[in-house]
Structure 1
Amino acid sequence: MIYTAILFGSFFGLLAIIFGAFGAHLLKKKLSEEQLQSFETGVKYQMYHAIVLLFLGFKLNSELTIDNYIVYAFIIGVILFSFSIYGLVISSAKNKKMKFLGPITPLGGLFLCLGWALIFYKFSLLYFI
Structure 2
Amino acid sequence: MNIFLFLGALNGFLSVALGAFGAHVLERKLDPGALEIWQTGVKYEMFHAAALLAVGILAGKHPENPLLNWSGWLFFAGIVIFSGSLYILSASGFRALGAVTPVGGVCFLIAWLLLMIASAKLG
TM-score w.r.t. length of structure 2: 0.90
How do 1:1-129 residues align onto structure 2 when only pairs under 5 Å count? 3-60=2-59, 61-92=62-93, 97=94, 99=96, 101-126=97-122
Contact 1:87 1:98 in 2 (8 A): no
Structure 1 letter corresponding to 2:90:
V
| Structure 1 residue 25, shift from structure 2 partner | 0.5
The 2-side partners of 1:41 and 1:86 are apart by 9
DSSP 3-state at the match of 1:34: helix
* Structure 2, gaps ≥5 residues long: none
CA distance in 1 between counterparts of 2:117 and 2:81 reads 23
Q: Partners of 1:51 and 1:126 in 2: how far apart? A: 20
What is the identity percentage for the equivalent residue pairs of Structure 1 and Structure 2? 36
CA deviation digits over 1:16-38, x for unaligned, max 9? Answer: 01100000000001111111111
Offset at 1:125? 4.3
Number of matched residues?
121
Q: Work out the CA distance in 2 between the residues paired with 1:125 and 1:64.
A: 9
**8 Å CA contact 2:65, 2:118 repeated in 1:** no
Per-residue deviation, 1:126: 4.9
Distance 1:126 1:3, change over 3 A: closer
Give TM-score scaled by structure 1 length.
0.86
Letter in 1 for 2:22: G
In structure 2, distance between residues paired with 1:55 and 1:116: 11
Following superposition, the deviation at residue 47 of structure 1 comes to 0.5
Please tell me the residue identity of whatever aligns with 1:107.
V
Preserved contact between residue 80 and residue 104 of structure 1 (Cα < 8 Å): yes
Whole-Å separation in 2 of the counterparts to 1:55 and 1:81: 20
Structure 1 gap segments, 5+ residues each: none
Distance 1:80 1:42 in 2: 10
Residue 123 of structure 1: CA displacement? Answer: 2.7
